[in-house]
Amino acid sequence: MMHGWIEMGLRATVVGSRWMVTSSHPAASYAGLKVFENGGNVVDAALAVSAVLCVVQNNMCGLGGDLFCLLRLKGKVMGLNGSGRAAELATVENYAKQGLKAIPSRGPLAAVTVPGLADAWNELYTNYATMSIDVLLRDAVRLAREGFAIPRGYANSINAASEQLGQYTNWRKIFLGESTRVAPGHILRQSDLASSLELIASEGPRSLYEGELAKKVASGAEKLGSPIRAEDLAKHRSTWDEPLATEYRGVKVYETAPNSQGAAVLLWLNMLSELTLRGKPWDSAETTKLLYRTCALAYRERARSISDPTSFPLPSDFLSKAFARSLLTESSDALQMSPSKRDLGDTTYFAVADSEGNCASVIQSNYMGFGSGIVPEGTGIVLHNRGCYFSLDPSHHNSLRPGKRTFHTLCASIGEKDGKTKFVLGSMGGDVQPQIHVQLITKLLDFDMDIQDAIDAPRWVALGTIYDSGQSLLIEKDLEYLIPELRAAGLTFSPIPPRSSTTGHAQGIIFGQEGELHAGADPRGDGAALGI
């Protein structure tokens, strides 16, 4: 069953012959493309895009957050884990002394893990960049100091967050000023953030961990009540982790390794590889039921098996075809879901590529909108609240412990076929990111969709964290006609508006037969794909 929206498309696919950037903000995509035009490589472009997003989408990401990246350079795929670790003072016992049974989602006690993004920049810059850091950060500094006009989504994000975060003076000064609400078109200037970026430009990204910026962050965080200290910042290092991979429909699909949840994507694809999708309409109840049933199994195993691998390694058979086949033999009766009330995360994803197949698949986040809401004085940096995903149950495999990384919703993907890059894709969406990956990958590889059409296509999601025994099942209204048949099969999907942010903001690039680059950006967000 095909509909007019998919035949005509919501946006035109962008095609280029040399370079491509697709991100969730036009200014970021433009910054990356300029770097390419000025002689930079994929990593240079990625750093410029990442920095601009830290200014124009710092409700979703920022210097106070984390970053994961897959790189494919000269035919080799590498994974960079830029997620932060829990502070030494962040212990189950210290939270128990304050009478807390869960880590607060906002405020100083939510800021319990070190920001990892800037050190990830350091690794990318020192190992693979060709342009100077001050040049790569130039657009970000300018946009922070001179300001930019915020779009409707950003204005809505500020106004929604103000109910919780307006109590924090430094956050309120930056994002609300003397107002109680902001409107689309408001010029947001962030002079302190510009100064922080300038420190990184002059001292290098490690300034946030050992330089002048580290002093400001550590003293400001402590003053506000966060457990993060100078020692936590100084000892933090990103890690280069071997990406995980599996074969699906003749394509080698790579995902970021744990503590990222990317392994759930690969387990799910392993199950689907035992089944047939081609020949079925992608937008049928039959296909949706098949995808959801395998999703539920993959997510159950995600909840059991993914955490910081240094303390809880991924089971050795997790990505084996035999394990996937064994899951498919289980009765679907055990997979009925009940409603979940967990929050979605706020994140931003982007992809950059050149015609030689070099590419970067990058995702960065503050976790919930504006993270913890805590801003160390004079930095303009909102510290993330990723650490609130930890459990305070000492027996749980994702329990809080100093120096530990939490289970992380961020994941990024790259596909290879016949030794060449096939696709680069990812999406924001918190816990639902694997669902968006699989829905996009199956549309590309099973249903031969164009990348923009695959992104435009209506989606469904099952909301819930690794702690939830149930999921809330939501489906965009374009697929509302499937609900009666899905309910008859015991799946209670509820309709949500078309192109809802609940189903993520995805970006992607496909490599064509002649090396040309096809890119799409999600109409659910403010994204833009730009290529030459």
Q: Which of 152, 179, 175 is nearest to 165 (CA)?
A: 175
Beta-bridge partner residues of 66:
365
pLDDT at 11: 83
Report CA 439 to chain centroid distance, whole Å.
Answer: 16
Radius of gyration, alpha carbons of the chain: 22
Q: Which of 233, 193, 40, 28 is nearest to 124 (CA)?
A: 40
CATH C-level class of 245-318+412-513: alpha beta
What is the DSSP code (8-state) at residue 503? G
Torsion sign (Cα): 254, 506, 315, 267: negative
What is the DSSP code (8-state) at residue 374? B
Q: How many Cβ atoms from other residues are within 10 Å of residue 489's Cβ?
A: 14
pLDDT at 441: 98
Structure tokens at 482: 């499937």
Q: How many Cβ atoms from other residues are within 10 Å of residue 54's Cβ?
A: 31
Annotated active-site positions, please?
347
Domains of the chain, by residue range, sit at 14-68+79-147+189-237+371-389, 245-318+412-513
- Reduced to 3 states (helix: H, G, I; strand: E, B; else coil), residue 379 is coil
Cα angle 281, 286, 292 (rounded to 5 degrees) comes to 110
Output the tens digit of pLDDT for each of the chain's 532 residues.
444 444 446 789 999 999 999 999 999 999 999 999 999 999 999 999 999 999 999 999 999 999 999 999 999 999 999 999 999 999 999 999 999 999 999 999 999 999 999 999 999 999 999 999 999 999 999 999 999 999 999 999 999 999 999 999 999 999 999 999 999 999 999 999 999 999 999 999 999 999 999 999 999 999 999 999 999 999 999 999 999 999 999 999 999 999 999 999 999 999 999 999 999 999 999 999 999 999 999 999 999 999 999 999 999 999 999 999 999 998 654 444 444 444 455 799 999 999 999 999 999 999 999 999 999 999 999 999 999 999 999 999 999 999 999 999 999 999 999 999 999 999 999 999 999 999 999 999 999 999 999 999 999 999 999 998 777 899 999 999 999 999 999 999 999 999 999 999 999 999 998 889 999 999 999 999 999 9
pLDDT at 515: 85
- End-to-end alpha carbon distance in the chain: 35
Whether cis (ω within 30° of 0) applies to the bond prior to 170 is no
φ and ψ of 437, to 5 deg: -55, -50
Cα–Cα distances (Å) from 144 to 198, 338, 380, 382, in that order, read 11, 44, 10, 14
Q: How many Cβ atoms from other residues are within 10 Å of residue 448's Cβ?
A: 10
pLDDT at 340: 47
Report CA 10 to chain centroid distance, whole Å.
Answer: 23
Cα–Cα distances (Å) from 490 to 332, 431, 437, 481, in that order, read 10, 23, 24, 16
- Reduced to 3 states (helix: H, G, I; strand: E, B; else coil), residue 304 is helix
* Rounded CA separation 99/478 (Å): 46
Residue partners of 294: CB distance under 8 A and separation at least 6: 268, 271, 272, 275, 328
The 420-427 sheet, strands edge to edge: 14-16, 517-521, 506-511, 420-427, 413-417, 251-255, 244-248
pLDDT at 128: 98
* Rounded CA separation 260/265 (Å): 11
pLDDT at 478: 95
* Rounded CA separation 263/245 (Å): 8
